[in-house]
Amino acid sequence: MRQWHFWLSLVVLTIPGLGQRALAEGEEAIAEPAEPAEIVVELKSASPTEKVRLGYSSPRRMAVEMAVPRFLFEVPKFACDDPAFFRVALGETEGVPFYGALDKSKGALYHDLLYLDKNRDLDLTNDGDPIPARIRTLWTNESKLIEFLGVSLELPYKIAGKNEKETYPCVVYFVLPGSKAAPPKHVMLERDGWREGSLKLGDGEFRIAVIDDDSDGQFSTGDSWVVRAASVPREQMLSRDATRKMIFPSWSADQKWTVEVKGIDAAGRKLTLSVTPAKETERQYFEKIYKARQDPAERARNLDPMRPKIAADKKVDWIVGKGADYAIEIAAKDQTPNRVLLDFTQRTCPHCHAMNTMTMRDREVFQLTKRFVCAKIGFKQGEADTVKYRVDGTPTYVIVDNRGAEIARHVGFLRPTEFAAWLKSALR
């Protein structure tokens, strides 16, 4: 198991008119609530554990070649007859890319060994033993996730006028659909760590993390960061919902101070922040931004622009083309879920369309629907289910238990917050 290391930073505070001073070892500067300040936070590497991970990253996608790249001087004697090659360009200087090769261990179906030219000398034979893969079966279509963990690469940077190197922890992986054992077409690389520091603002202690979002081996203000009270668990701090792009500011817990990123070096060692008295709260700031980006139809229905939505490739798992009894039978067979959500709908219904494109795209609503057997039923006057459940118009939502007894119903459009509250009430 990889060990978990954190380093508290030294912080240097500059108050206009007072200049900048060096701090004694272990001393932390405090931005007093009086006037704007500039703070330089020193950051150190942090690595994931089983409990604390980034939870997301934008991987670098690398095309796989079946022929030995002409730039490589030496390659190992591969066990398989179809080795695959790729290259990774990382860091602020062009230089020589990292080359990698995939091989199979004896008797393996998949390419489960990774040779990586860590020292970038164009020789794959002098970098130690190949890295073995962890192979997992994904829940979708029996796809195989082939992961190479604990990969560390060294990248050159110019830091304070000196040429230095920084360790770049990463994960290399690829996905194969079904039981396919052929070489992958693409290999992915993700940064497997972040940079972290701390500062004291007023009476509060805060932790700062910066994330190399695009896994390109260098930090910029286009990447993400997060500021949270030191007491906040790291697994919450590093979630996708907590982090934001460095172009956006953060606020102190009391909303009195705005903290903005003024700059960060490519190696992610020094983060320059500006701390100013807040002119508006965090919510006011982001409401203004999100309202400007909000779809006019959502704005017309007064939807909260700040509510998280599900990804475009996700959708509620509706049963379509079956009757209500079919959904109830499924609920009766399984202890969970034991509630059925019936959605009586029709194509020409504008409120049905709004529910599908707005309310059902809400993340909280989406998560709640997983606790129901969900069925869409086409509305027609005189149809059996329409008569049985006394439906006169659309959209009509009826919640029943696994014996078909009605628990709740609603007719018409509901905003995400209202619909989520209605679903929760039926689960009690």
pLDDT for 208 equals 94
Least reliable range by pLDDT among 7-16, 74-83, 343-352:
7-16
Question: Quick one: tokens of 62?
Answer: 């690398």
32: confidence class by pLDDT, cuts 50, 70, 90: very low
The label of the residue with tokens 């286009």 reads 222
pLDDT for 55 equals 67
Least reliable range by pLDDT among 6-15, 19-28, 191-200, 383-392:
6-15
Q: Is residue 392's pLDDT more than 60? A: yes
Q: What is the pTM of this model?
A: 0.71
Specify which residues 195 forms β-bridges with: 45, 210
Instruction: Round to whole Å and give the CA distance between 366 and 220.
Output: 34
Instruction: Round to whole Å and give the CA distance between 378 and 376.
Output: 7
- Rg (alpha carbons) of the chain, rounded to whole number: 27
Q: Is residue 186's pLDDT more than 80? A: yes
pLDDT for 141 equals 62
Q: Is residue 181's pLDDT more than 80? A: no
Range among 50-59, 135-144, 169-178, 401-410 with highest mean pLDDT value? 401-410
Tens digits of per-residue pLDDT, 371-382? Answer: 999 999 999 998
CATH code 3.40.30.10 region(s) in the chain: 318-427
pLDDT above 90 as % of the chain: 63
Average pLDDT, the chain: 86
Under CATH, which architecture does the 318-427 domain have? 3-Layer(aba) Sandwich (3.40)
- What average pLDDT does range 375-393 have in this prediction? 94
pLDDT for 52 equals 77
Looking at per-residue confidence, does 295 or 58 come out higher? Answer: 295
* Burial letters 171-204, b for 16+ CB under 10 A, else e: bbbbebeeeeeebbeebbbbbbbbbbbbbbbbee
Give the largest Cα separation in the chain, rounded. Answer: 82
- What average pLDDT does range 273-292 have in this prediction? 92
- What average pLDDT does range 246-253 have in this prediction? 90
242: confidence class by pLDDT, cuts 50, 70, 90: confident
pLDDT for 13 equals 29
Range among 26-35, 179-188, 285-294, 394-403 with highest mean pLDDT value? 394-403
34: confidence class by pLDDT, cuts 50, 70, 90: low
94: confidence class by pLDDT, cuts 50, 70, 90: low
- What average pLDDT does range 84-92 have in this prediction? 89
Looking at per-residue confidence, does 266 or 235 come out higher? Answer: 266
pLDDT for 83 equals 95
Half-sphere exposure of 152 (CA within 13 A, CB side): 9
Q: Is residue 10's pLDDT more than 60? A: no
Looking at per-residue confidence, does 340 or 252 come out higher? Answer: 340
Torsion sign over Cα 282, 285, 288, 290: negative
Instruction: Round to whole Å and give the CA distance between 418 and 74.
Output: 64
Q: Is residue 127's pLDDT more than 90? A: yes
pLDDT above 70 as % of the chain: 89
Residue type, 294: Q
pLDDT for 158 equals 84
Tens digits of per-residue pLDDT, 318-373? Answer: 999 999 999 999 999 876 778 999 999 999 999 999 999 999 999 999 999 999 99
Residue type, 30: I
Cβ pair 190, 57 in contact under 8 A: yes
Q: Is residue 292's pLDDT more than 70? A: yes
pLDDT for 16 equals 27
Phi, psi of 325 (to 5 degrees): -60, -35
Residues near 357 by Cβ (< 8 Å), separated by ≥ 6? 297
